[in-house]
Amino acid sequence: MRRSPTGRSTARSTNRRRAPADVDVYLFPAVVGGGLGDIEEVLAAGDALARAGFRLRLLRLGDRALPRSVDGPWSWPRLARRTTLSRRGRAALTVAPSWGVSAAPGRPGALGRGGAWEAEAAAIEAAYGPRSTLHVSLEEFARTLTARSEDRERLREGGVPARALAERLRRSERAGEQAALRAAYRRFRGFDRPNVLHLYASFRPDPEFEREFPEAVVTGPLWRAGRVASPRRGSPPGRREWVWYASPASAETIAPEVVEGLRGVRPPIHLVVRTDRSWRWIPPAARATVLAGPRPARAWQRRFAAAELRIVTGSRTLLEAMALGGPFLYFNGVLGAGRRRRRHRPEKLRALLEVARTAGVAPGLRRDLAEFAQGRRVASIVRRAAGRVGPWARFPSTWPLTGFRPPFDDAGRLLVDVARALARAPDDAPGVVARFRAAPRAL
């Protein structure tokens, strides 16, 4: 039985209650941001629903190709692939990353192009009816920003210095830019659709965000239970190995410092870099290996599980590292260089550091995690991690999360509850969405 980072079991549920046959589940995996985590998130949701006994389908109408990167070497849950729609249940539940981007219908005006799964979503609504179709939208992990916070991040990532941010924000608010951001966010997320349930997985509830956007439902993380194979068959016996999922374009800029930090470590540590981007820097063959392009899912899972330390990015590999236990470093990319270097999308790291603070993780370890994520003092941090120096000898094995009422503490469990609620009311998908939107979520 595998332990979860919160201390709960993630093994297959012993609840023998049979899933209702009245709900057909459709997965809409797609890349919304730059990484592949959006696809993995949908498959993790599919796993949770399949383990509860629901039927899964991957519907791609006609002879159209799947969206880019979807037909790769993924660890798929059990599902049926279809090119025509065949209705069996009384209701349908679809799961998509950012439904407003990946599956919403086209609309007039700028940026009105429909999503990659537009045709399938429309066909399902036509077959089952809008009141019997519930769309689950998996939004970006830990990205629960109010319009003002989103505006601040827009300016910060655009290069506005910290000392000038306050004045620029005041000017932006007076000019109506924050109001425009708020309206555009509501529109392009599809908050006006009563049969779309928007789930924002995070480490903590965010009442301020939910007050501004009451359609949003903030939940605990979406773990992928039972995904990682036994680590015993990962790296070769007797070899110390680190793995790095180097998704951000800026990962290559810190790679020489990572390898330098491992120089002279005894016994030696070999670094395995996995990247889906073109990789120009060639590391010393004896100290590092670069694996470019897609990898067989199970082989990579074993290697990831067996690694002594994992360097992760985004949300999916971060959650996998937390679930496995053991040390990790986080790098989600940086913008700029030198004194103007700044983190890209830092909200996930901020959320992790807050969890670490409340869990009593040593300040030195929190500082190392924060500075590595910003691409600072990389080699010295790597040396401390490799030597288990100071707080690195006490890296947390579990990450207790607090603040959510069950089932909102676990997005996978919540998805199963939503599907079962739809099975009980197959003609009232908007009512099911409204109840989960209104339910108290924070403790």
Those residues of the chain that have pLDDT short of 50 are 1-3, 8-16, 228-234
The whole-number pLDDT of residue 259 equals: 97
* Residue % of the chain over a pLDDT of 90: 78
Domains of the chain: 23-145+175-221+404-438 (3.40.50), 231-394 (3.40.50)
pLDDT at 233: 46
Question: Which tens digit of pLDDT belongs to each residue from 236-258?
Answer: 556 899 999 999 989 999 999 99
155-202 pLDDT, tens digit per residue, is 988 889 889 999 999 999 999 999 999 999 999 999 999 999 999 999
Torsion of CA 130, 406, 220, 404, to 10 degrees: 120
Q: Which amino acid is at 240?
A: R
- Which pLDDT value is given to residue 13? 45
Residue 264 backbone class (left: φ over 0; alpha: ψ -120 to 50; beta: rest): left
User: How far apart are the C-alpha atoms of 364 and 145, rounded to whole Å?
Assistant: 28
pTM, 2 dp: 0.92
